[in-house]
Amino acid sequence: MHRGARGGRQGGAGPKASETGDLSQFWSFRAEPKDMDGTTLIKSIDDVIDARAVTTVFQPIVRLDSWRRHRPEVVGYEALTRGPAGTPWEAPLELFGAAGRAGRLAELDWVCRAAAYRAAIDAGLPLGLTLFVNAEPAALGVPCPPDLAPAILDAQLRLRVVVEMTERAIADDPAALLTAAEACRGSGWGVALDDVGAEPASLAVMPFVHPDVVKVDRHLTQQPEGAYAARVVNAIVAYAERTGAAILAEGVETREHVAAALGMGATLGQGWLFGRPGPLPEDVAERSATLPVPFVAPPAGTGTRTPYEIVAGRRPTAEATKRMLMPLSRYLEEKALDAAEPPILLGCFQEARFLTPPTARRYATVARTAALVCALGTEIPSAPVPGVRGAAIAGDDPLRGEWNVVVVGPHFAGALVARDLADDGPDDDRRFTYALTYDRDLVLEAARALLHWIVPT
């Protein structure tokens, strides 16, 4: 879907009002002032948000193995937001852009989700069908406005929901993304990663979001040839094979697109070939076709354990000096330079002084192409190097005694975890106990632990 449409709220190329009929009947304007005929006046983005003046349209999601039938089997719908017709905020790009500039993006996100839930419930969407709803992870950490709480609670009780997130969220606020995914699963809902393949970085993000549904970007569905498409498909299929996640192809508009989607392993499809965004069908309450994938069990939480504690608890450790460990560290950092399959690089330096100028230059180089680069240590600023996300830790933090380098890509994963033995003397002769692992699951567990230390900016 169109990346500028805030995770698919525009629904790709999105229909005009004339293509979906008059949608004004679905709006609920509750703000003052009103004009003489009682209609709410919408003169600013604040009026839109105050009046909850958004509408929801729905696009069907179908099983691809049923597409040849007269009526393809619909397993769910994606909820897409529109602003008030005839206003500058009708299109999602303008709507969310204006809300961001006004500092009300989180509130608008709650408004859109509540509107989608209420519309689905009012139409009688059964539990047998799944509702896909876009969400900003940061907004999920903001309290729900009281007037929207009933719709949110009703949705938890009466709907089967998959919450869609985009890969850009892990760079914007990785802690919020992980927390949001955990919160969704705590509500019994699923998680989808949207626009996968639109940017190479999305491939490295998949295991951190741990989505139940991987939504392949429309451009890959419509242009499946080439080396880049092959890399994306291989990474998606590998993830789905490991986890049991479903693959959903977006932007399906022709029979050729269906063939391409099936060829990349997709079992679900969405696009104009199956239906354009609009109101839910009148007989939706009578339909039932459960999404053909159980929600993926999330990885076990890491609690407050550090990367060293996680890895050393399951792998043998050895003792070495810093001089001996530096080549191992640099090897992992060099693996993070893969521009074709950009990884995530997380480094824990103990103290800011150990982020030396040569190391800082290496991290800056990695950051030009990597999905995310982070550096943690005492007195490390929020942006220690261009493109690098920094996080300061306290002097008594358990991480203060650890030197960690963790790299996670679509296919490669490696981690060096080391604990300082507190020697005196020259820096290069300092001794560490360490472990080195390329076990993907173990590396991911260590990486998730480090991400929880990163404080949102």
**pLDDT score for 273:** 93
pLDDT of 6 above 50: no
For residues 164-175, give the mean pLDDT.
73
**pLDDT score for 208:** 85
pLDDT of 164 above 60: yes
Kindly state the percentage of the chain with pLDDT values over 90: 64
DSSP 8-state assignment for residue 300: P
**pLDDT score for 39:** 55
**How does pLDDT run across 32-59, given as a tens digit for each residue?**
444 444 456 889 999 999 999 999 999 9
**pLDDT score for 183:** 81
How do the domains of the chain map onto residue ranges?
3-286, 307-451
| Backbone torsion region of residue 387, taken as left when φ is above 0, otherwise alpha when ψ lies between -120 and 50, otherwise beta | left
**pLDDT score for 65:** 87
Comparing 256-265, 335-344, 373-382, which segment has the lowest mean pLDDT? 335-344
Comparing 14-23, 99-108, 198-207, 301-310, which segment has the lowest mean pLDDT? 14-23
pLDDT of 7 above 70: no
pLDDT of 24 above 60: no
**pLDDT score for 348:** 96
pLDDT of 23 above 90: no
How far apart are the C-alpha atoms of 276 and 439, rounded to whole Å? Answer: 44
Is the model more confident about 168 or about 120? 120
**How does pLDDT run across 76-127, given as a tens digit for each residue?**
999 999 999 999 999 999 999 999 999 999 999 999 999 999 999 999 999 8
* 3-state secondary structure at position 175: helix
Q: How confident is the model at residue 70 (pLDDT cuts 50, 70, 90)?
A: low
**pLDDT score for 3:** 33
**pLDDT score for 41:** 81
- Whether 307-451 and 3-286 are alike in CATH topology: the answer is no
Kindly state the percentage of the chain with pLDDT values over 70: 87
> What contacts 217, CB < 8 A, 6 or more positions away?
1, 3, 195, 196, 197, 198, 250, 251
Comparing 156-160, 215-219, 449-453, which segment has the lowest mean pLDDT? 449-453
DSSP string covering 211-246: -SEEEE-HHHHH---SHHHHHHHHHHHHHHHHH--E
> What contacts 441, CB < 8 A, 6 or more positions away?
299
For residues 230-242, give the mean pLDDT.
91
According to DSSP, the β-strands at 318-321 and 268-270 are unpaired
How far apart are the C-alpha atoms of 391 and 34, rounded to whole Å? Answer: 49
Q: How confident is the model at residue 136 (pLDDT cuts 50, 70, 90)?
A: confident
Range 3-286 classified under CATH 3.20.20.450 = yes
For residues 147-174, give the mean pLDDT.
86
According to DSSP, the β-strands at 130-134 and 160-166 are parallel
CATH class entry, domain 307-451: alpha beta
**How does pLDDT run across 242-299, given as a tens digit for each residue?**
889 999 999 999 999 999 999 999 999 999 999 999 999 999 988 877 777 777 666 6
**pTM recorded for the entire structure:** 0.82
CA 277 to mean position of chain CA atoms: 23
For residues 364-369, give the mean pLDDT.
93
pLDDT of 330 above 80: yes
Q: How confident is the model at residue 4 (pLDDT cuts 50, 70, 90)?
A: very low
pLDDT of 132 above 50: yes
Burial of residue 370, with CB atoms counted within 10 A of its CB: 0-12 exposed, 13-18 middle, 19 or more buried: buried
Contact 368, 386 (CB under 8 A): no
- Residue 134's nearest CA partner among 119, 152, 112 is 112
